[in-house]
Structures are given as C-alpha cells and as structure tokens.
C-alpha cells in the first residue's frame, strides 16, 4: 500500500517537474511544424501577428504581473522598435543615396540626419533594442526614484503614449505622419510577397518568441525575479533588505520595454505597416487587456492572452464588425470579477475550490493521520 | 552603561541632539544616545515616548528636524533606507512584514543577498546556502523553509523577520517590539533567541512588555515625551522614582486609596514596573 503511494508520489512530482518543459516543446512543435502545414498563408500571417503581440505580452507579464507596474504605455516602446525597423526597411528599399517614397511626396529634399545611420542593418537592429530600452531605463529612474507608483504610474505611462502619438503625427516629413511607414517589399533578403518567405518570417517570429520566453522565465526564476515579487508586495519593506526598489523596478520595466520594441520590429515586416494608430492609448490598453484575460501572474498566461484575444478580435470582427468592443469589455470585467488569475488560472481556481470543499468534509470523517496509521498496519 | 567604553573608543551608534517635529508636535526632543559595540540595550517608555520614531530616524525612514546620527564613525544623516542597511544597520518592524508569496527560505535568501550585483542576482538560486540554513535553524524555521511565508503564525513571522535580519549580517540590530502580541511560550522562545543573538551582535530592542524587559534587559534607556528620562541598569532604573511616576503617574491617586501591601504590589505588577 505504502510502496504504491510512494510510487504515485514520485510520478506526481515528476509530472510537476516536467510539465513545463513538456508543454513548451508541445507548443513549439505546434507553432513551428503543425501551424505552417495546416494554415493558409493568410491565416499564418495573422498568427505571426498574434505572436508579435505575445512577445510584447511577455514584457507586460514581467512588469505588471510580477512587478506590479501597470504600464499603459507599451505602445510607445512597440513603436520605437517598429519605427527603427521600418526606417531601415524604407531606406534599404529606396537604395543608396535615395529618399524613401513618402519623403519625396512630402517635399523633403535631403535625408534627415537621424535617418542616415539606419541604412546600416546592424545599427537598425541595435536601435530596436536600445531605443525602447534606454527610454524606459531613464523614465524608470526618474519616475520610480521619486516613488511614483500605482495609478499615478499607470496614468503617466498612458499620457506618454498619447504624447508620443501626437508627436509622430506632427512630424510628417520625418515619420510619415498619420500614415506611418508602409509599403515594404523585402525584409533582410526575404521577399514579403513570396509565400515561402512569409513562412520563414513566421518561423523567425515564433523562434524569437520562444527564446524570449525562456529568457524571461530565467529572469522570473532568478533571485531578481523573487525580488521583483517582493517589491510588488512590499516595496517599502524591500528597502530595509538593503535593495533600492527603484532600481529593481527600472530593470524590469526596461526589459518589458525591450520585449515591446522587438515585438514592434517584427510586426513591421509581418503586417507591413507601422503607424501612430497602432501605438496610441487604445492599442496600449489592449496589450494590457490581453494579458489580464490570459493571466498576468504567469508568462504563459500573458502569451496565451495575447494570442487568444487577438485571435478573438479577428474572428469576431469578421462576422460582427462592431461587436468586438462590447465583447472585449464584457470579457475584461468577467475576468476581473471571477478569474483574477485569468484563463490560465481557471484550472487552479477550480482545483482549489474542489480541494476546499473536500477539505471541509474530510476531517470530519477520517483525520489524515489515521489514514497514515491504517496504511502502515 | 552610557555606551562610552573605558578606552575612550568611539561608540558604534551615537545620536546627538536629535529632534523630530511632526506638524508642531515634538515626537523627539533633544535626545542623546550612545550604544557601544557588543551591547544589548533596551529602549522603554510609555506610549508616544518616541521609541519607534528614534529607530525610524536611525534607519532613514524619518528625517530628523535637528541633530545627528553617527554610526561606526560616519554620519547616517540624509542616507536613504537601503543605504543605511548597506552601512550595516538592520531593523524589524512592530507588525512583521514578510513576503507572503515567497517561501520562508526565499525571504531569508533575499535578505542575505543584497550585496550581490545585478548579474549575480539574475542567476537562479542553487540549493540552500549554509548561511541561510544556519539562520533558519537558529530561528526555528528550518522545518517550514519551503512553505510560503503567508502561512506563518504571528509569532513565526516575527522570528522570520529576525532570521531575515540576521541573514543581512548587520553590525547593529534594531528590534521594534519583537514580542508584541506573542503568547507566553513564544515570548520565552524569542527571549532565548535574543540572548543568543546578543552574544555576537550589537542589539537595540524597543519593548513595551515590562515583564520581558525585566527578564532579559541589563542596560535600559527610558524615554518619556521625546526625551531621555534616565539610563542605567535595570535595577537602578526600576528604583528611579521618575520612572515609576511616568509609568504609574496616572494611577498614583487611585493607588493611594488602595490598602498598602500585597494588593498594591500586584497593582504595580500589572502596571509594568515593580
């Protein structure tokens, strides 16, 4: 009897230990093998877009879920990465010494100095990480150092998203204004009109998501990850452990900005456009909605939410063009009220509920210690 | 007993002319205090005497209106909380604050790791360090190491706070009412822990529970209305009529009406100073 139970325990603990890696490999196979084989090029491109949002969601899961920083301005970092990539693609397309098409239309005669270095692919790729990273780092030091937090931080980041969009729109000759940057035909040698190359691009997005997921998992599992949770739950107490919470939050916020930047950079070749309308207050909120619905306390929940919600948005909009907003709002309220841990937390909630019910009934019948003795005899 | 070592060495902690004013209320009013290396000092006094405020000032939580705090020969004035910890001053809180979602072990491990730089912090924790294990053992929490701190009882939380404090390896430990709300058994265990810690550390304890103070204190500083009323060993402090007055002041009139003898002693026992 006891040996049987020990064996069952060993299996259970092995299952717990291997569940993560097994799920990861299964999802990787699904995304890298099954999806490209099963989906039409159109659907695959949409999936690639969802995965871009999932990359940004990783950062929100870290900053908001683990660090308690409700960042409503991820569109800014998504945009910085997106524009850095788009500027390079436009220049590569125009050819050496030539101006991007939209500048010609706007009557710009010489290439603005900030555009020049983006001719170099390495510089553009570096900027995809550096622009959002440095912006978030400086902002974090300033804001967290002054102990701005909670709703004040959320409002500040939202205002930043609004201001960023206004600035972009106002710089017609520099950024393409309201239209943004669009009409891309190739991406580092890939022909964006070719179906095979589109599949390659999709795989690049999926692999980047997988690698970033593993990297963020490492951050969450490290001492720093524990420290981040400690800052979320008791920032003032953390000071008396000898850490500066402002620095901890700044690092997490910077990582989240970098993930949004990378997401934006991949979004550009996948969707073929980057424009202010994709970065403002509403899109930034939608990033956060998705993470809340999926489950903000785990990175997997954040990724799941981004894919589910954006899939839902596409599918639903195809049938009822105006219904999505209402459904999204209802979904958000339902999750906040009944499943604060999101879709991914529902299973755990159900398990806890069942255990609690059984726990209330069980001791009245046979105390656990008795069962142990009975088994030994 | 005033903290000045015969050799004339600089005391570990020297507070000079300290005043703290909150909206016109003088919570601390010209306090001088020195604590020598290796000392176990109790800070006592009635409610509102300024004991916790004094600790708050030393640890950077509250800015003094006047006066200086010197620790190990350098000023702590103007430093932020985590910088004070980095200088070697650690504290606990009246209501223990632990990180409920982290395990007991993770709580202690974080406290032990603050000297690490960011790249080291970004690595996973590999097993349990000897130091963390020793501290957990000392605080009697080894069996609970892998449980979330949220499941701990009130007393266990205080011990976890003390364990976290020890893991920081501070030069000066400031404990704010470590036995508040504890059962008799828990108080006894905490007292033993305290004595053990004090053998190797410099400790300042703010305490309200007079029975606890009588059992474990040797050196006592009495604060009253933001000033140092008196300092000395337990016996002389207890004998000081001023101390009896601040503790018993309000009940003196009623006591006069009580019959002299065993009942009066019992009354005094209840009030806290015997």
Contact B89, B76 (CB under 8 A): yes
To 10 degrees, the CA torsion angle through A21, A22, A23, A25? 80
**Left (φ > 0), alpha (ψ -120 to 50) or beta: where does B102 sit?**
beta
- Residues in A touching B121 (Cβ below 8 Å): 222-224, 227
What pLDDT does residue B249 have? Answer: 59
Condensed to tens digits (0 to 9), the pLDDT of residues A80-137 reads: 999 999 999 999 999 888 899 999 888 888 999 999 999 999 999 999 999 999 999 9
For A139-183, how does the pLDDT look when each residue is reduced to its tens digit (9 = 90+)?
Answer: 999 999 999 999 999 999 999 999 999 999 999 889 999 999 999
Instruction: Give the count of Cβ contacts less than 8 A between chain A and B.
Output: 74
Confidence of residue B247 (pLDDT cuts 50, 70, 90): confident
Residue A239: list chain B partners with CB under 8 A: 80-82, 85
Average pLDDT over residues A298-303: 95
By C-alpha distance, the chain A residue nearest B108 is A241
In angstroms, the separation between the Cα of residue B108 and the nearest Cα of chain A is: 10
The residue with greater pLDDT, A16 or A72, is A72
Chain A residues in contact with B119 by the CB 8 A cut-off are none
**Percent residues over pLDDT 90 in chain B:** 65
Kindly list the residues from chain B whose CB atom is less than 8 angstroms away from the CB atom of residue A67: none
Does the pLDDT value for residue A350 go beyond 90?
A: no
DSSP, res B261: S
The pLDDT score that the predictor gives to residue B243 is 87
pLDDT digits (tens, 9 = 90+) for A220-278: 999 999 999 999 999 999 999 999 999 999 999 999 999 999 999 999 999 999 999 99
User: What's the Cα-to-Cα distance from B154 to each of A78, B45, B97, B99, B211, rounded to whole Å?
Assistant: 46, 24, 10, 13, 20
Contact A246, A109 (CB under 8 A): no
Of chain A residues 241-260, which have a CB less than 8 A from chain B?
A: 241-244, 251
**CA–CA gap between residue B56 and residue A43 (Å, rounded):** 61
User: How confident is the model over A19-36, as pLDDT tens digits?
Assistant: 888 999 999 999 999 999
Beta-carbon separation of A222 and B122 below 8 A? yes
Interchain pair B110, A224: CB under 8 A = no
- Judge: B90–A240 Cβ closer than 8 Å, yes or no: yes
**CA–CA min distance A232, chain B (Å):** 10
Please tell me the predicted confidence (pLDDT) of residue A55.
Answer: 98
Label residues A242-257 b or e (16+ Cβ within 10 Å = b): bbbbbbbbbbbbbbbb
User: What pLDDT score was predicted for residue B248?
Assistant: 67
| A223–B121 C-beta distance less than 8 A | yes
Average pLDDT on B132-136 reads: 95
Q: CA angle, corner B30, sides to B25 and B33, nearest 5?
A: 130
Rounded to whole angstroms, the Cα distance separating A354 from A358 reads 6
Model confidence at A360: pLDDT above 70: no
Q: Is residue A240 less than 8 Å (CB to CB) from chain B? A: yes
Whether chain B has a CB inside 8 Å of the CB on A169: the answer is no
Q: Do B99 and A233 touch (CB under 8 A)?
A: yes
Please state, rounded to an integer, the average pLDDT across all residues of chain A: 90
- The answer to whether A231 and A238 have CB atoms below 8 angstroms apart is yes
Q: Which of A137, A145, A214, A226 to mutate to test the interface with B (most CBs of B within 10 A)?
A: A226
Q: Please give the Cα distance from B225 to B240 (Å, whole number).
A: 17
Whether the predicted pLDDT of A40 surpasses 70: yes
For residue A352, give every residue at least 6 positions away whose Cβ sits within 8 Å of its Cβ, in sequence order, or none: none
Cα–Cα distance, B45 to B176 (Å, whole number):
13
CA of B59 to nearest chain A CA: how many angstroms apart?
Answer: 8
Tokens of B154: 């009130």
Q: Which two tokens stand for residue B198?
A: 């004090």
Q: Residue B195 CB: number of other CB atoms within 10 A?
A: 13
Instruction: Tell me the residues of chain B between 214 and 273 that have a Cβ less than 8 Å away from chain A.
Output: none
| Reported confidence tier of residue A14, pLDDT bands at 50, 70, 90 | confident
Distance from CA of A7 to the nearest CA of B (A): 22
pLDDT at residue B12 greater than cutoff 80: yes
The minimal CB distance from A242 to the residues B114, B120, B123 is found for B114
């Amino acid at each position: 009897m006891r040996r049987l139970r020990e064996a069952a325990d060993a299996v259970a603990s092995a299952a717990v230990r291997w569940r993560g890696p097994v799920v990861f490999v299964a999802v990787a196979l699904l995304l890298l093998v099954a999806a490209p084989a099963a989906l039409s090029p159109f659907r695959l491109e949409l999936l690639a877009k969802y995965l871009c949002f999932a990359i940004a969601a990783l950062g929100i899961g870290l900053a908001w879920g683990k660090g308690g920083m409700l960042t409503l301005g991820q569109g800014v970092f998504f945009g910085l990465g997106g524009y850095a990539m788009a500027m390079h693609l436009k220049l590569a397309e125009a050819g050496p010494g030539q101006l991007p098409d939209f500048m010609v239309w706007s009557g710009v005669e010489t290439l603005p100095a900030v555009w020049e270095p983006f001719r170099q692919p390495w510089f553009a790729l570096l900027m995809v990480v550096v622009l959002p990273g440095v912006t978030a780092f400086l902002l974090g030091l300033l804001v967290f150092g002054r102990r701005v937090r909670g709703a004040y931080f959320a409002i500040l980041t939202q205002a930043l998203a609004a201001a960023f969009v206004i600035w972009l729109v106002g710089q017609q000759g520099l950024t393409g204004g309201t239209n943004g940057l669009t009409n891309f035909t190739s991406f580092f040698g890939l022909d964006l009109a070719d179906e095979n190359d589109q599949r390659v691009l999709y795989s690049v997005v999926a692999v980047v998501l997988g690698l970033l997921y593993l990297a963020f998992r490492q951050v969450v599992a490290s001492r720093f990850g524990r420290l981040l949770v400690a800052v979320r739950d008791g920032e003032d107490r953390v000071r008396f452990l000898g850490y500066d919470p402002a620095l901890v939050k700044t690092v997490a916020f910077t990582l989240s900005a970098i993930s949004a930047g990378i997401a934006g950079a991949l979004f550009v070749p996948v969707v073929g456009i980057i424009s202010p309308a994709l970065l403002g207050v509403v899109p930034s909120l939608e990033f956060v909605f998705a993470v809340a619905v999926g489950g903000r306390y785990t990175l997997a929940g954040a990724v799941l939410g981004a894919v589910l919600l954006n899939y839902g948005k596409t599918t639903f909009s195809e049938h009822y063009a105006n219904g999505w907003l209402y459904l999204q709002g209802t979904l958000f309220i339902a999750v906040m009220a009944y499943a604060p841990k999101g879709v991914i937390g529902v299973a755990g909630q159900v398990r806890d509920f069942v255990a609690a019910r059984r726990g209330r009934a069980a001791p009245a019948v046979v105390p656990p210690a008795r069962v142990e003795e009975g088994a030994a005899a | 007993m005033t903290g000045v070592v015969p050799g004339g060495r600089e005391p570990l902690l020297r507070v000079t002319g300290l005043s703290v004013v909150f909206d016109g209320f003088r919570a601390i009013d010209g306090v001088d205090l020195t604590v020598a290396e290796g000392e176990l000092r109790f800070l006592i006094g009635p409610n509102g005497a300024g004991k916790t405020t004094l600790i708050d000032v030393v640890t950077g939580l509250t800015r003094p209106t006047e006066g200086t705090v010197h620790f190990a020969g350098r000023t702590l004035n103007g430093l932020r909380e985590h910088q004070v910890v980095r200088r070697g001053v650690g504290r606990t809180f009246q209501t223990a604050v632990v990180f409920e979602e982290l395990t007991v072990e993770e709580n202690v491990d974080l406290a032990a790791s603050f000297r690490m730089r960011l790249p080291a912090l970004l690595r996973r924790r590999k097993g349990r360090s000897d130091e963390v294990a020793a501290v957990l053992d000392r605080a009697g929490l080894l069996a609970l190491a892998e449980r979330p701190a949220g499941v701990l009882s009130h007393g266990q939380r205080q011990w976890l706070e003390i364990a976290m404090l020890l893991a920081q390896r501070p030069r000066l430990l400031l404990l704010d009412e470590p036995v508040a709300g504890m059962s008799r058994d828990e108080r006894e265990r905490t007292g033993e822990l305290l004595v053990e810690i004090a053998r190797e550390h410099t400790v300042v304890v703010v305490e309200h529970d007079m029975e606890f103070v009588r059992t474990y204190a040797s050196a006592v500083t009495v604060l009253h209305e933001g000033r140092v009323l008196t300092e000395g060993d337990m016996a002389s402090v207890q004998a000081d009529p001023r101390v009896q007055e601040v503790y018993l002041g309000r009940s003196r009139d009623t006591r006069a009406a009580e019959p002299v003898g065993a009942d009066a002693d019992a009354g005094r026992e209840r009030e806290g100073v015997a």
